[in-house]
Amino acid sequence: MEKTRTTRLGKFTSIRQLLSRYQPGKSKQVTREFQLYGLELADELDDWEHRSLYIRLAKTLPRHLLEKARSFVRDAENAKSKARLFMWKLKELRKNEK
């Protein structure tokens, strides 16, 4: 059994553990990996109301951009809105990539 890691933001579980919880056909909510990633992102950003947006971003955008924006939000300790900061950073990263 894999252990969870603890950081200053809380506990992280391995992707293997997360995927083992959601089995295709049994869970009606999560059937693909990008859906799971989008839901994790919504949970981390405390923006559960817009989870469909994060699922769509996980499906359509390169993962490295999402990870950079996610990392930026993790490092920002005094952010009033993590979701707003994430979307701003993602916009900046996409603009710089072009």
Rg of the chain, C-alpha, whole Å: 14
Structural domain boundaries enclosing 58: 5-97
Q: What is the mean pLDDT of each run of 10 residues along the chain (98 residues)?
A: 56 72 62 92 93 95 96 91 96 91
pLDDT at 77: 85
**Which pTM does this prediction carry?**
0.70
Domain count, the chain: 1
pLDDT at 27: 55
pLDDT at 64: 95
How far, in Å, CA of 88 to CA of 62, rounded? 16
pLDDT at 14: 76
pLDDT at 25: 53
